[in-house]
Structure 1
Amino acid sequence: MLSEKDFISKPFSTVIENGSFQWSAPSNIALVKYWGKKEHQIPANPSISFTLNNCKTITKLAFAKKQNDSNFSFDLLFEGQPKEDFKPKIQKFLERIEIYCPYLKDYHFTIDTENSFPHSSGIASSASGMAALAMNIMSLERKLYPEMTQNFFNLKASFLARLGSGSACRSVKGNIVVWGNHAEIEGSSDLFGVEFPAKIHDNFKNYQDTILLVDKGEKQVSSTVGHDLMHHHPFAQQRFAQAHENLSAIKKVLEKGDLTEFIKIVESEALTLHSMMMTSIPYFILMKPNTLEIINKIWQFRNETKIPICFTLDAGANVHVLYPENVRVEAMQFITTELVGYCQNGNYICDQVGDGAINFSI
């Protein structure tokens, strides 16, 4: 089992003066939710997620060797324009990973990033953004350490991404990723995400996710604040135990293809996440009236048609509508006629399970 010390870079003799890399990394949607963390971005409970395909960040990292400068040095562009308000988060990230990537201070970086989805869409870009940046950094490290294996490359990229945004560690690989120690998941770790190790039933191949943009505004409460509220939450320990139990249950579901049980676990997890926020001090209600309207419409439609469509939620008002590929026509007809009217300006995004980060470097 790899430890943090295994990710500390060793001395190298290779000299790289300049160059560039480009990676895309997708967002992901948790099925069993991670909510609550310890120091150094360690999760309080394990989680499992679908890696998405279309909602992604594309980041180009250009680098040039510096002379006699011991500080981090970087320019940050978002969609081709300087983005000063993003820089403190990148600075903090570089400071966190310096011990593992000491070569970073040897270079000036130009980070040019963009999202495949509108920045104001209400889709969190921290997971995809940090994963894409981590993949680029590891491409530089692989140039410095040519003997690096692909497996170590992926694990360290996930490890670094986690230090920028916890759920980012689940955006390096696909299609289903587990993050956090769990007795029944071989290779699982609090330090990085791993691909679901068992064979996945055909029911979950190319699973669809239509994201209904109910509220495209700023989050009412940041994820960092939300996670911190679990430290003194009256139901925290019960929640962490529940996550372990649900991960055991969904492991069997993903292997056997039981869509009815999948729906029960995924919807329960979404509502539990929001119940944790409603019962914390201070407390928050992150759902909007239209979120509840959509949920009730989904329940009604599923009861009437027996089509296995369900919902999940992040820590916000938007609704992820999940369904198998073989019912896509019926599901999309329902979504466009019955649900889109509850979205802000009728906006929604069609996505599906994907394979993880993609290297565009030449």
Structure 2
Amino acid sequence: MASVHDFIPSAYTQTVQNGSFTFSAPSNIALVKYWGKKENQVPANPSVSFTLNDCKTVTTLNFEKKNNNSEFSFDFLFEGQPKDSFRPKIEKFFERVEVYLPFLKEYHFSINTQNTFPHSSGIASSASGMAALAINLMSLERLLNPEMTDAYFYQKASFLARLGSGSACRSIKGSVVVWGEHAEIEGSSDLFGVEFPATVHNVFKTYQDTILLVDKGEKQVSSTLGHDLMHGHPYAERRFAQAHENLSALKKALVEGDVDTFIKITESEALTLHAMMMTSQPYFILMKPNTLQIINAIWKFRQETQLPVCFTLDAGANVHVLYPENVSAEVLQFITSELLGYCQNSQYICDKIGTGAQPLN
């Protein structure tokens, strides 16, 4: 079983003065939700997600050797403009990962990042952003240690991304990614995400995700606070056990192409996540009235048409509409004619299942 010590490097064999990398890393949407964490970004329960294809962060990392190694040194640009509000998050990330990337204080970094989805769209960018930064840093470490295997490269990138944002570890590699130890998932770990170990049925290989932007405002509750509310939650232990059970059932459904079971588990998981928030202390309602209108409309449409369309939610008001590619025309017609009125400024994003981080230079 992997341990944190596996990611502490021995002496590097090469030196590098300067260079540049650019990677894209996608967002992901959890099907079985992770909610609640232990120390050092360790999840309280396992989760599984679809990697998205088009909603991603593109990050360029320029690096140059410097003389003074006493502190971290970096510039940060978001879409070409300085964004000082993000600096503390980078600082904290560097502090967490320095033991695993001991070269960090030896370089000055210029980090230039942009999202392919609209700013303040209500889509969480921490997963894609931290995944993109982590895999860029790993590309520098691979220059310092050219003997590094691809397997180690991606595993450590996922490990590092997790220390920036838990779900970021699911945005590095794979279309369906499991994070968290689970008895039936070979190689699964609390320390990094792993590609789903079985062959996914063809129906799920081209799954579509249309994201309905119900509320594009700031998150009502930060992810950190939300996860902390699971400490001492009256239903926490049962919830963690339920996640294990649902992951077992979903694994079987993904392999067999059982769309009905996929729908039941995915929707139940989404509602359970929000139920945990509504029954915590303090308690929060993260859905908006239009979220509920959309959910009810999806249920009515599915019952009337027998088309396999379902929803999932993140920790907010937006709705991810999931469906197989072969019913895209009917579902998109339904979305545009009946659901867009519930979206802020009628905004939505069409996405689909993707494969993970990609080098762009």
Normalised by the size of structure 1, how large is the TM-score?
Answer: 0.99
The offset of 1:146, in angstroms, is 0.1
The offset of 1:10, in angstroms, is 1.2
In the other structure, the counterpart of 1:353 is 353
Identity %: 74
- Root-mean-square deviation over aligned CA pairs: 0.5
The 2-side partners of 1:189 and 1:119 are apart by 32
The 2-side partners of 1:174 and 1:14 are apart by 30
Amino acid at match of 1:253: A
Superposition pairs of residues 1-12 of structure 1, within 5 angstroms: 1-12=1-12
The 2-side partners of 1:164 and 1:220 are apart by 20
In the other structure, the counterpart of 1:258 is 258
The 2-side partners of 1:16 and 1:118 are apart by 36
In the other structure, the counterpart of 1:114 is 114
In the other structure, the counterpart of 1:326 is 326
Amino acid at match of 1:156: K
The 1-side partners of 2:206 and 2:61 are apart by 31
Amino acid at match of 1:330: E
In the other structure, the counterpart of 2:101 is 101
The offset of 1:69, in angstroms, is 2.9
The 1-side partners of 2:6 and 2:308 are apart by 44
The offset of 1:118, in angstroms, is 1.0
Q: What SS does the corresponding residue of 2:76 show, helix, strand or coil?
A: strand
In the other structure, the counterpart of 1:218 is 218
Amino acid at match of 1:148: M
The 1-side partners of 2:130 and 2:119 are apart by 15
Cα displacement string for residues 270-298 of structure 1 (whole angstroms, at most 9, x for unaligned residues) = 00000000000000000000000000000
In the other structure, the counterpart of 2:175 is 175
Cα displacement string for residues 185-219 of structure 1 (whole angstroms, at most 9, x for unaligned residues) = 00000000000000100110110000000000001
In the other structure, the counterpart of 1:186 is 186
The offset of 1:2, in angstroms, is 1.8
2:47 corresponds to 1:47: yes
In the other structure, the counterpart of 2:344 is 344
Q: What SS does the corresponding residue of 2:103 show, helix, strand or coil?
A: helix
The 1-side partners of 2:291 and 2:80 are apart by 34
Cα displacement string for residues 124-168 of structure 1 (whole angstroms, at most 9, x for unaligned residues) = 000000000001000000000000000000000000000000000
Q: What SS does the corresponding residue of 1:248 show, helix, strand or coil?
A: helix
2:312 corresponds to 1:312: yes
Amino acid at match of 1:220: Q
The 2-side partners of 1:122 and 1:174 are apart by 24
Amino acid at match of 1:215: D
In the other structure, the counterpart of 1:303 is 303
Amino acid at match of 1:118: P
Long gaps (5+) in structure 1: none
In the other structure, the counterpart of 2:75 is 75
Amino acid at match of 1:199: T
Superposition pairs of residues 128-143 of structure 1, within 5 angstroms: 128-143=128-143
Q: Which runs of 4+ in 1 moved over 4 A?
A: none
Q: What SS does the corresponding residue of 2:271 show, helix, strand or coil?
A: helix
The 1-side partners of 2:77 and 2:312 are apart by 32
Long gaps (5+) in structure 2: none
The 2-side partners of 1:341 and 1:353 are apart by 26
Amino acid at match of 1:140: L
In the other structure, the counterpart of 1:249 is 249
The offset of 1:13, in angstroms, is 3.2
Normalised by the size of structure 2, how large is the TM-score?
Answer: 1.00
Cα displacement string for residues 52-95 of structure 1 (whole angstroms, at most 9, x for unaligned residues) = 00000000000000102310000000001111000000000000
The 2-side partners of 1:52 and 1:68 are apart by 40
The offset of 1:119, in angstroms, is 1.4
The 2-side partners of 1:123 and 1:166 are apart by 16
